[in-house]
Amino acid sequence: MKLTLVIIMVCFLSYHNEATLQVGFYRDKCPFAEAIIKDEVTKSFLKDQGIAPGITRLQFHDCFVRGCDGSILIDSTPTNQAEKDGPPNGITVRGFNVLDNAKARIEAVCNGVVSCADILAYATRDSVVLTKGLYWDVPAGRRDGRISRASETSDIPTAFFNLDQITQSFAKKGLTQSDMVALSGAHTIGRSHCFSFTDRLYRFDTKMMQDPNLNPYYAQFLKLKCPRDVHGILNQTLVVFMNQSPLLMDQSYYGNLLKHAGLFMSDQVLLDSQKTAQQAAIYAANGLIWQADFVKAMIKMSQIQVLTGEQGEIRANCRVINP
């Protein structure tokens, strides 16, 4: 009964969003679009389950730079380094081929109708569902941006932010601190490159090597997974899972925070204020509350600075702006 009420509430919120986007936007324009996207995401997930957190991360990083306009999908050129190649993206982002395949199939049946930005939004929802998260109706009608600059990826929150920094970063995009705590739970799935957090293990500050706020047993485990060589150099390709259930959208992320086993500094700092710590504790105790709040925050985030109407374009190829 509780799950049914949560799903009804989430669907209701999906329908009552900013007037610029609409649930069912492609119902008459390209009725098979959502099914095609779901099929491509599912096929890729069955081959590599890590594709789900990869796609989810793509939407986060897209929306924080110029809004949710699909600009992270644009390839660099000899005269422009695009978002996907700027920090903290580069080798850490994946899922582009899934979106390319969905776009190609959609273009074959609905030429010039469905934007890459919307394909990414639908694919993110499908990725969350595949990892046992809640379903939501995706408000659509986004248009694609024509600008993608690596120099602008500084808007993406980093793994080294303190609580004030990460709160301000989300606030710049119209998201509250509560939204931030809920969205941070996406770190319950996927993996991370070791270089994103090894400062917490080997060179925390001038006084100590290891972050004193990191569970020492967890720190030892991470050092085994992310060792330095005899010269103190870290292999840049090494990765670790975000937590013990990297393929499930569950509340274990918040439980880990309470044990001081958050992977990133920006994760663990959620316990640095009474308000955010209380929210994390509620989520750790009740995963259904977190999932419902996560969906509400995702719907809100997916509408950051969207292009609609005659703005932007509908890219024929998600990697290249139209001539």
pLDDT digits (tens, 9 = 90+) for 211-270: 999 999 999 999 999 999 988 889 989 999 999 999 999 999 999 999 999 999 999 999
For 181, residues 6+ apart whose C-beta sits below 8 A from its C-beta are 270, 276, 279, 280, 283
Alpha carbons 204 and 207: distance in angstroms, whole number: 8
Average pLDDT over residues 204-216: 88
Note the pLDDT of residue 1.
Answer: 52
The first and second tokens of residue 99, run together, are 């979106």
Tell whether 192 is in a known binding site: no
Q: Which residues are catalytic?
A: 61
For residue 115, what are the contacts with CB-CB under 8 A and spacing of at least 6? 70, 142, 143, 144, 312, 314, 315
Which carries the bigger pLDDT value, residue 175 or residue 12?
A: 175
Residue 31 annotated as lining a ligand binding site = no
Is CATH 1.10.420.10 correct for 163-296? Answer: yes
pTM: 0.92
Residue 228: both structure tokens together = 């330095």
Is position 69 annotated in a ligand binding site?
Answer: yes
Q: Is 139 annotated as a binding residue?
A: no
Confidence of residue 8 (pLDDT cuts 50, 70, 90): very low
- 67 is known to lie in a ligand binding site: yes
pLDDT in tens, 276-285: 999 999 999 9
- Residue pointed to by tokens 């931030």: 180
Mean pLDDT of 57-82: 98
Helix/strand/coil percent split, the chain, to 5:
50, 5, 45
| 71 annotated ligand binder | yes
pLDDT over threshold 70, residue 4: no
What confidence score (pLDDT) does residue 19 get?
45
pLDDT at 62 over 80: yes
- CATH 1.10.420.10 placement within the chain: 163-296
Q: For residue 29, give Cα distances in angstroms to 102, 141, 241.
A: 16, 11, 40
Share above pLDDT 90 across residues of the chain, in percent, rounded to a whole number: 89
Q: In which element (H, E) is residue 221 found?
A: helix 216-225
pLDDT of residue 208: 81
94 pLDDT more than 60: yes
Residue range(s) in the chain whose domain bears CATH number 1.10.520.10 = 2-157
User: Is 188 labelled a binding residue?
Assistant: yes
Annotated binding residue 93: no
Query: Average pLDDT over the chain, rounded to whole?
Result: 93
Cα–Cα distance for residue pair 117/302, rounded to 1 Å: 10
User: What is the rounded average pLDDT of the residues 128-148?
Assistant: 98
- Report the CATH architecture of 2-157: Orthogonal Bundle (1.10)
